[in-house]
Amino acid sequence: MTLVFETIPHPRPLDAGSRSAALENPGFGKHFTDHMVTIRWNSEAGWHDARVEARRPFEIDPAASVLHYAQEIFEGMKAYRGADGRILLFRPEENARRFNLSAERMAMPQLPEDIFLEAVKRLVDVDRDWVPGNGGSLYLRPFMFSDEAFLGVRPASSYVFCVIASPAGAYFRNGDDAIRLWVTPDYTRAAPGGTGAAKCGGNYAGSLLAQRQAIARECDQVLFLDAVEGRWVEELGGMNIFFVFDDGRLITPPLRGTILPGITRDSIMTIARERGLTVSEAPVSFDQWQADAASGSLTEAFACGTAAVIAGIGSVLSPGGQFAVGDGKTGPVTTALRDELTALQRGDRPDRHGWVQACS
Ligand code: PLP
Ligand code: COI
């Protein structure tokens, strides 16, 4: 399918001084680039009206179904400035593919993968001065929502696809320090048959009360256990999880429809196997995690995702008490995997997997 993108450059982009100040210490999700890409879909015309234009508020009908029934999905990916000046995307076709899996689950239209990729690349190209150097990246947020004004409960007949971008540094406030998790006894994230494997806004809305509990306990992220037995470790509010053992095993919970199939998770499994670790996708109970951490056979644990990259887990708090993982600091296996992953993402290692795409 071909779609012609109309480009209407921002008449007053942010001045270079203010942009440099924003890029200096961007944090996460606080600053936004000058442009956005939008494409519309309706049941008569299909995908149409593709634009690269100044980032601005949407005008939306108060009856737009997304505001009532949350028909919304999103992606998270990053553009990196390589040492040779090229701007690189990491496995962007996987985001395009997952976007359509999320769309299918939420009864939304499929966006051809080449159009998803073109939209992302056009935004990075027009806002290329916003890609930080020095270990930062430009976080890209493609998303789609229903905008039909209709209050009946059924899939909407019109949607907006949009991509915005935000310069990003460390996701967690303490930078590279190991994070602290809160294991919620009260709330679950996803049940079998639910939407846990889709990247839909509703999953995150449902996680916020547990995340608030985590923050109140000075924890960085909430850890969710499975909804059926309340026993098996699933994932964090916005990241997948891995466990490292002293005999060279690396374990991550299996994807069974309740966990987001992370692209970082998948990349780490490949990198870890290449480094000689024995990687498996296997259930880990919370009790076993505690016992193995206490015996010392489980030496490290880490969280991973596009925003967080790879973050060591130092301690875990639950209503039963707190325990440390290893010595409470980011461990050597976690650090080695993080270094390898970020080197691949930035083009500092040969791209032996075909994971990296130059933007333009
Ligand atoms: N799990 C959840 C709930 C997430 O929000 C994310 C982030 O996107 C991940 C896992 C990791 O996915 P990825 O590595 O594709 O960013
Ligand atoms: C991402 O890593 O892209 C996410 O969407 C997770 C969220 C914590 C920002």
pLDDT of residue 354: 97
Q: Ligand 1 mean position to 56 CA, how many Å?
A: 27
Domains defined along the chain, listed by start: 5-168 (3.30.470.10), 179-345 (3.20.10.10)
* C-beta 95 within 6 A of ligand 2: no
In a 13 Å sphere around the CA of 280, the CA atoms on its Cβ side amount to 7
Nearest CA owner, ligand 1 atom 5: 238
| Torsion angle in degrees (nearest 10) through CA of 63, 204, 100, 280 | -170
* C-beta 307 within 6 A of ligand 2: yes
Ligand nearest to the CA of 166: 2
Nearest CA owner, ligand 1 atom 3: 238
Q: Please give the number of the atom of ligand 1 that sits closest to the Cα of 189.
A: 3
Contacts of 295 (CB under 8 A, 6+ apart): none
Q: Which amino acid is at 95?
A: N
Q: Are strands 356-358 and 87-90 parallel, antiparallel or unpaired?
A: antiparallel
Alpha-carbon span 165 to 360, nearest angstrom:
17
* C-beta 262 within 6 A of ligand 2: no
The tens digit of pLDDT for each residue in 28-71 reads 999 999 999 999 999 999 999 999 999 999 999 999 999 999 99
Q: Ligand 1 mean position to 239 CA, how many Å?
A: 5
pLDDT of residue 360: 67
Ligand nearest to the CA of 203: 1
pLDDT of residue 132: 94
* φ, ψ at 245 (rounded to 5°): -110, 160
pLDDT of residue 175: 76
* C-beta 198 within 6 A of ligand 2: no
* φ, ψ at 68 (rounded to 5°): -110, -40
Q: Which two tokens stand for residue 116?
A: 């998803």
Ligand nearest to the CA of 142: 2
Alpha-carbon span 196 to 102, nearest angstrom:
10
pLDDT of residue 89: 98
Q: Ligand 2 mean position to 161 CA, how many Å?
A: 18
- Ligand 1 neighbours by CB, cut-off 6 Å: 76, 235, 238-240, 260, 262-265, 305-306
Distances, alpha carbon 275 to alpha carbons 218, 262, 278, 290, 338, in Å = 35, 20, 9, 26, 13
Q: Ligand 2 mean position to 102 CA, how many Å?
A: 15
> Which SS3 state, helix, strand or coil, does residue 276 take?
coil
DSSP class per residue in 30-99: S---SEEEEEEEETTTEEEEEEEEE--PPP--TTBTHHHH--EEE--EEEEE-TTS-EEEESHHHHHHHH
Q: Please give the number of the atom of ligand 1 that sits closest to the Cα of 263.
A: 15
CB atoms within 10 A of CB 180: 21
Per the CB < 8 A criterion, the answer to whether 310 and 338 are in contact is yes
Task: Count each helix (H run) and each strand (E run) in the chain, helices first.
Answer: 9, 18
Q: Ligand 1 mean position to 317 CA, how many Å?
A: 22
Give Cα 239 to chain centroid, integer Å. Answer: 7
Each of the 360 residues of the chain gets a pLDDT tens digit; together they read 789 999 999 999 999 999 999 999 899 999 999 999 999 999 999 999 999 999 999 999 999 999 999 999 999 999 999 988 899 999 999 999 999 999 999 999 999 999 999 999 999 999 999 999 888 999 999 999 999 999 999 999 999 999 999 999 989 888 778 999 999 999 999 999 999 999 999 999 999 999 999 999 999 999 999 999 999 999 999 999 999 999 999 999 999 999 999 999 999 999 999 999 999 999 999 999 999 999 999 999 999 999 999 999 999 999 999 999 999 999 999 999 999 999 999 999 999 999 999 986
Give Cα 63 to chain centroid, integer Å. Answer: 29
Q: Which amino acid is at 345?
A: Q
The tens digit of pLDDT for each residue in 210-249 reads 999 999 999 999 999 999 999 999 999 999 999 999 999 9
